[in-house]
Amino acid sequence: MKRSLLWLIPALILVGSGCTMAPHYVRPESSVASSWPEGDAYPDSLSEAGLPAVTELKEEEFFPDSRLQRVLALAMQNNLDLRLAALNVERVRAAYKIKRGQLLPAVNATGSEYRSKIPGDVYSTGGNFTTEEYKVDFGISAWEIDLFGRLRSEKNQAFEQYLASAEGRRGAELSLVSAVGQSYLSLAASREQLALAQSTLESQRSIYELIQRQYDAGLVSKLDLRRAQMQMNAAQGDLARYTRQVAQQRNALNLLAGAPVPDELLPSGLDDIAAPPEVSAGLSSEVLLRRPDIMAAEHELKAANAFIGVARAAFFPRISLTALIGTASRSLSGLFSSGSGSWTFNPQLTTPLFDMRTPGALRASKAQRDIALTQYQKAVQTAFKEVADALAAKGTIDEQVAAQDSMVSAAQEAYQLAQDRYSKGLDSYLSVLDSQRTLYSSRQGLVALRLAKLANRVQLYAVLGGGASEEKRTNPKK
């Protein structure tokens, strides 16, 4: 009997490792167009022929600035949101291993002692007597043989949930990279605008002092003096605003990095940064299928599909097995004596006859699958919209920057002309103030548009799923 038990357990394991009752999974049809939108707002595909695809660029190639790379490395090491995402992956991975372990029997060794005193009048023996029993058993207890794939479906569900969490971590990493890049560029732009506000304030203060002296000498009116003062006060307000903005954006960058960013790693302006290169979105929208959020949504859909197999298996019998080999004796000294061997073989079959929860569970599992399918389709549509928006910005931002740059040149010349006419007495000081305000606001607008152009590159990099280095991840075997 011992030899038959040894052969029986591996045979049952093989029988229990068959197919599941989950529906065959087929990836849903794409709910978006196969190509990107076309029109006046979008870049010409021919003009992008020489640009690299996002999938061809590693992270360090897309962010060539060495200081920004060090800030990104600091964020990868210390950011708490990324650490939480990594811990969640470990938690779900452990849950998957638990489900996988249920497919194999748990082998235990058990030792027990039993003593019982029975009064003599119970059996009319006239005297009390004590019984003793010692046992040592080795084997498996209440192991479910997975004939109908319930446990295997649970294992597959847990595995897909683990893969979804791994993609969630990859998405968190990509979001962090994008956020750090955007924050770094924004800080550079704010510092550049702060420097512009400082230089403008110095110029306005000099002009105000000059007007003050002219007013004291009776050469200009008090109206010109107050107008110059108002211009200087406006510059003072802008200086305070950009000083606050620089401090807040540095705080935001420190939060993303998870630690204070050293001063030597901070940019002084946009021209102080090695700009990310332009990238091409390609011709097909299938690139979206490699985005972490879409891959995570698909794994959740597969997990919901596997859970239907769990619900279907509940309609069929469950077979559990207890098989023990050991020794037993009435005395401790005889526990391992000849002839004390014992064994237990106890298969058990449980067949559902009437349980109204089972059909409800199946309907709930199918509804959950439909919910996961809808969420997957929504993720694809959202991703398509994000890429389309980024492409629309890319296709129009260059024209905005060129127009703004031309406006700055024109405003600079207009300011010089207004000063010349005022100094010759041909025009009032109001025209000088107006041209000065126009020049200042146009220069600030140019900085904002240059920031928008670089930020759009980072955004396009992120919404297309990141670069080649993001593909490096390990998954356990099923």
What is the Cα gyration radius of the chain?
37
Residue 53: pLDDT band (50, 70, 90) is confident
* Per-chain mean pLDDT for the chain: 86
Lowest-pLDDT range of 161-170, 432-441, 462-471: 462-471
Worst-scoring range by mean pLDDT, 365-379, 383-397, 415-429, 430-444? 415-429
Longest dimension (CA), the chain: 138
Residue 410 pLDDT > 50: yes
Residue 57 pLDDT class (50, 70, 90 cuts): confident
- Mean pLDDT for 454-458 is 94
Query: How would residue 478 be classed by pLDDT, with cut points 50, 70 and 90?
Result: low
Confidence at residue 127, expressed as pLDDT on a 0 to 100 scale = 63
pLDDT of residue 470: 43
Report pLDDT digits (tens) over 71-108: 999 999 999 999 999 999 999 999 999 888 888 888 88
The H-or-E segment that residue 222 falls in is helix 222-257
pLDDT given for residue 121 in this prediction: 67
Q: Tell me: pLDDT of 12 over 80.
A: no
DSSP 408-473: HHHHHHHHHHHHHHHHTTSS-HHHHHHHHHHHHHHHHHHHHHHHHHHHHHHHHHHHTT--GGGG--
Sheet architecture: strand order including 107-118: 107-118, 129-145, 318-329, 341-350
pLDDT at 329: 78
pLDDT computed for residue 1 by the predictor: 44
pLDDT of residue 294: 94
What single letter denotes the amino acid at residue 454?
L
Which band of pLDDT confidence, cut at 50, 70 and 90, is reported for residue 472? very low
Nearest to 391, CA basis, from 286, 467, 449, 464: 464
pLDDT at 473: 43
Q: Which domains does the chain have, with CATH numbers?
A: 2-104+146-316+352-471 (1.20.1600.10)
Put residue 149 in one of left, alpha, beta given phi > 0 → left and psi -120 to 50 → alpha.
Answer: left
User: CA triplet 446, 447, 452: central angle to 5 degrees?
Assistant: 95
Reply yes or no on whether the pLDDT at 4 is more than 70.
no
**289-331 residue pLDDT tens:** 889 999 999 999 999 999 999 999 888 888 888 888 888 877 7
Q: What pLDDT, on a 0 to 100 scale, did the predictor assign at position 210?
A: 84
Q: What is the mean pLDDT of residues 122-142?
A: 75
